Amino acid sequence: MLTLITYREGFGEPSLSPFCVKTMIQLEMAGEDWTPEYVTTPSKAPLGRLPALRTPDGVIPESGFIQSYLEQRGADFHPGLSSRDRVLGHAIIRMVEEHLRVAIAHDRWLDDRCWSEMAPIAFAGVPAPMRPFVANLVRRQVRAGLKGQGFARMNENQRMQSLTPDLDCLTDLLWDKRFLLADQPTAPDTIAVPVLSMLAGLPADTAIRRAVRNNETLMAYIERGRAKLYPKLSRSAAAA
């Protein structure tokens, strides 16, 4: 059996990390026998990040490397796609993972309304006397990282000006299909569904949450994706 080392669940999601949910989805799609191992911090994981997959061949870090490992074991996350669509799918994954996903981190960690809900869930496994110190330390690290990336230097209007084209691209791809590249899920859906679901499920009324919730096409896609893709351990959970 494979063991997925992952952040704990929260906000109606099987993990707080969209990358962990992506890997859960891909393990399900691959038909693997797996179990989650929930941890609070990634300090002992390879590269110091999650998810990580414990396998008979060692611990595999990063969702992208895990996808490659599953493909080597026979999984096909691009069923029926042309070479052109595979290229498009790769570009969609990079857009979602490297840009749109940053909005989740920003609002959860830097918006005080979201942070008040996020901290008790994210740091529930830390001993109570240490919890405020650890939470605030990690929050400062996240803030510094998002400032270095540039996203935390923008005001809300600028952030939405940056994010809206991403939402528009995903919306346009869905006008004639149930999923992003076909009528069945493929690789980009395994990250787009959890990212959009987490944006829609942010615990405060932020601009990006409103943008997703007001988009009927994206909300219908989230509903289809959660019903089709989410692991059985969370499939009955409703989006926040």
Q: For the segment 63-89, what is each residue's pLDDT rounded down to a tens digit?
A: 999 999 999 999 999 999 999 999 999
pTM: 0.94
pLDDT for position 202: 97
Give me the pLDDT at residue 233, please: 60
Specify if 79 maps to a domain: no
Extract the tokens encoding 47. Answer: 């590269």
Task: Give the C-alpha separation, 203 to 23, whole Å.
Answer: 24
Residue 50 is assigned to a structural domain of this protein: yes
* Banded pLDDT at 236 (limits 50, 70, 90): very low
Q: Is residue 58 part of a domain?
A: yes
Give 10-67 pLDDT, tens digit per residue: 999 999 999 999 999 999 999 999 999 999 888 778 898 999 999 999 999 999 999 9
* Tens-place pLDDT, residues 87-145: 999 999 999 999 999 999 999 999 999 999 999 999 998 899 999 999 999 999 999 99
The pair phi, psi for residue 54, each rounded to 5°, is -85, 120
Give the pLDDT band (50/70/90) at residue 237: very low
- Let me know if residue 48 belongs to a domain: yes
Is the CB of residue 194 less than 8 Å from the CB of residue 151? no
State the pLDDT at residue 240.
35
Q: β-strands 34-39, 52-55: how paired?
A: unpaired
Residue 169 identity: C
Domain that holds residue 49: 2-72
Closest C-alpha to 205, from 135, 112, 120, 140 = 112
* Residue 154 counted as domain residue: no
Q: Kindly state whether residue 126 falls inside one of the protein's structural domains.
A: no
Identify whether the C-beta of residue 202 lies closer than 8 Å to the C-beta of residue 114.
Answer: yes
The domain total for the chain is 1
Q: Residue 139: inside a domain, yes or no? A: no
User: For residue 141, which of 131, 130, 152 has the smallest C-alpha distance?
Assistant: 152
Which residue type sits at 75?
Answer: A
Between CA 127 and CA 130 the distance in angstroms is 6
Q: How does pLDDT run across 166-184, given as a tens digit for each residue?
A: 999 999 999 999 999 999 9
Q: pLDDT tens-digit profile of 185-208?
A: 999 999 999 999 999 999 999 999
What CATH number is attached to the domain comprising 36? 3.40.30.10
Q: Does residue 44 lie within any of the structural domains?
A: yes
Question: What does the mean pLDDT of the chain come to?
Answer: 94
Nearest CA to 23 out of 73, 72, 48, 60 is that of 60
